[in-house]
Structure 1
Amino acid sequence: MADQDSNGSGPLSFFKAQHRAFAETLKTRQGTGGLIDGLLLQAWDSFEHNIAIQAEGQPPLACHKGCATCCTLRVTATAPEVLMIGRYVRWSDGRFKSIGIDLPARIADADAKTHGLDEAQRVALRLRCPYIENGICLIYQVRPLACRGHASYDVHACVKAAAGRAGEIPYSGPHRVVRGLVQNAMQSSLRDAGLAFGLYELNHAVCIAIQNENCYAEWLSGADVFAPAAITDVGIDEMARIYDAIQAS
């Protein structure tokens, strides 16, 4: 993807194509019950399809089922992702409780311990993600793009880093790039539709989604319902300027 924009097949062209596709989904599904599902199924499918292309010829990933080594990191998510996960947690609550897992309580407990911590503080705390049970992600089907796009070629490097020992982790560049392009294209289209388009700390935002059953309707009305969980590493105004510059290019 890197150097091919002159012939319409590089990252800039990919971003614009993704933006148009998300905009069309928003146009056709807004006001229906399938908006969140449509946006995220589109995002996940685009991510998986393009990763298969971009990762061709790369080393095999070390990530595998049962490995939760990196699941102590701060996770960010967009509003559609938070709404989807909040809905999934509510729907699966009875099933999880039948096997002794109170997931809403886990999320609230994790949030109480991590709310307000920055990335470095979160890593230093080494608190396991509340969605992990015996190394398995309980929300794997609806996990955020941030998780889908975080992949490593060396599990031993991940283990050392998780234990606080210095070292470089050989992350998959294609996963990070494609994840960023898809996610930002969706955010840009949300902004154009007058919807809150920022990034949120996952646990705190999901707590809000679980507690407020009207958050989907409020978000659709243009309210930033997850503002208390907002990640401000990059400000909303700066993000908006970047999106404007991309669309004008």
Structure 2
Amino acid sequence: MSDDSERGAEAFFNAQRAAFEHTLATAGPQAVQATLLQAWDSFDGNVAIQCEGQPAVECAKGCASCCALRVTALAPEVFVLADYLRATAPTLQRHGIDLVAAVRTADAATRGLDEAARVALRRRCAFVIQGVCMIHRARPLSCRGHASHDRRACAAAAAGRTDEVPFSGPHRLVRLLLQAALQAALRERGLAWGAYELNHALVLALDTPDAYAAWTAGADPLAGAAVDQDVRAALAASFDEVPPPPQPPQFP
């Protein structure tokens, strides 16, 4: 990455971190939902800008080749998705679809597996029904940031025939910067900010009484699903190394 690119990435990280911190501090009871919507909007807008002149991605409805990978998510993503599952459950169950039961089954099959073991298992995501992602509107940043320029290469990789897939660099970069900025903002607010394996974290969020209230009070009810304990200290240090943007002068 060039110096200009590094400065641009740092400026983007800082701007997003400040925006997330402001929303978390001022949006009241809907702060977490508002912050996550902010992240999704920023992802869409900035990916569109960064992808100008790039080959088009071939990800589309009906293509779920990459949906056997382990998915990680931050606590706000887990809690918002848990609410989404609760809200959509009655309608989906009338059509014979039970996503809550599906994620429990998936958790039992995948809990404790690392990335390599998860890929080798080749188990389709619990939320993909007949090739369609049933949580597409509420999917985590890790899913949004995983995009490919070659649908056939993805299918070949899913079948174990290749490990060469032309992934979209802008999607990945914007996702990583947004996720880091959100983690830094959560940490600044005294909230658990780590990354969690999605299936197990959702089961914990659904089954732990008052899990969301505990998290907003500073506890970590999703700790059993954490996947990044070994890198959190280094990540926190990296957040502290990035100088915050200068504050505007305050006038009486």
Deviations 1:83-106 (A, max 9, x none): 000001111111111111111111
User: TM-score, normalising length from structure 2?
Assistant: 0.93
Within the candidate set 174, 178, 181, 1:182 is matched to: 178
Name the aligned partner's letter for residue 4 of structure 1: D
Displacement, 1:248? 6.5
Give deviations 1:94-134, integer Å, cap 9, x for gaps: 11111111111110000000000000000000001000111
Aligned to 1:203: 199
Q: 1:169 aligns with which of 152, 165, 173?
A: 165
Residue identity matched to 2:156: K
Cα distance in 2 between the residues matched to 1:216 and 1:145: 20
Once the 2 structures are TM-superposed, how far is the Cα of residue 69 of structure 1 from its aligned partner? 0.7
Residue 73 of structure 1 and its aligned partner are, at CA, apart by 0.3
Q: Partners of 1:247 and 1:197 in 2: how far apart?
A: 20
Shift of 1:167: 3.2
Mapped contact 1:18–1:182 kept (Cα < 8 A): yes
Equivalence for 2:56: 60
User: How do residues 1-249 of structure 1 correspond to structure 2 at under 5 angstroms?
Assistant: 3-4=3-4, 10-29=8-27, 32-232=28-228, 234-247=230-243
Structure 1 residue 50, shift from structure 2 partner: 0.5
- Between the aligned partners of 1:213 and 1:87, the Cα distance in structure 2 is 14
TM-score by length of 1: 0.94
Larger displacement relative to structure 2 (225-234 or 191-200): 225-234
Structure 2: distance between partners of 1:25 and 1:55 = 27
CA distance in 2, matches of 1:234, 1:123: 21
Relative distance call for 1:115 and 1:134 in structure 2 (3 A) is same
Native 8 Å contact 2:25 2:31 kept in 1: no
Contact 1:75 1:202 (8 Å CA) reproduced: yes
Which structure 1 residue ranges, 4+ long, deviate > 4 Å from structure 2? none
Whether the 8 Å contact between 1:47 and 1:178 is mirrored in structure 2 is yes
Provide the rounded CA distance (Å) in 1 between the counterparts of 2:149 and 2:193: 31
On the 8 A contact 1:2/1:11 being kept in 2, the answer is no
Q: How much has 1:238 moved relative to structure 2? A: 1.5
Q: Deviations over 1:43-80 (max 9, x none)?
A: 00111110011000000111111111100000000000
Calculate the aligned-residue CA RMSD, in Å.
1.6
* Structure 2 residue identity aligned to 1:28: T
Q: Cα 1:171–1:25, aligned 2, differ >3 Å: closer, same or farther?
A: same
Instruction: Kindly indicate whether the alpha-carbon contact (under 8 Å) linking 2:14 and 2:244 is maintained by their aligned counterparts in 1.
Output: no
Which ranges in structure 1 are unaligned for 5 or more consecutive residues? none
How many residues get paired? 245
CA distance in 2 between counterparts of 1:190 and 1:247 reads 17
- Which deviations, in whole Å up to 9, do the C-alpha atoms of 1:11-52 show, x marking residues without a partner? 0111011111011011102xx321121111100011111001
CA–CA separation in structure 2 for the residues paired with 1:60 and 1:213? 44
Q: Matched residues, percent identical?
A: 51
Give the superposition deviation at 1:164.
Answer: 1.0
Q: Is the 8 A contact 2:186 2:193 kept in 1?
A: yes
**Structure 2: any 5+ residue segments left out of the alignment?**
246-252
Q: SS of the counterpart of 1:116?
A: coil
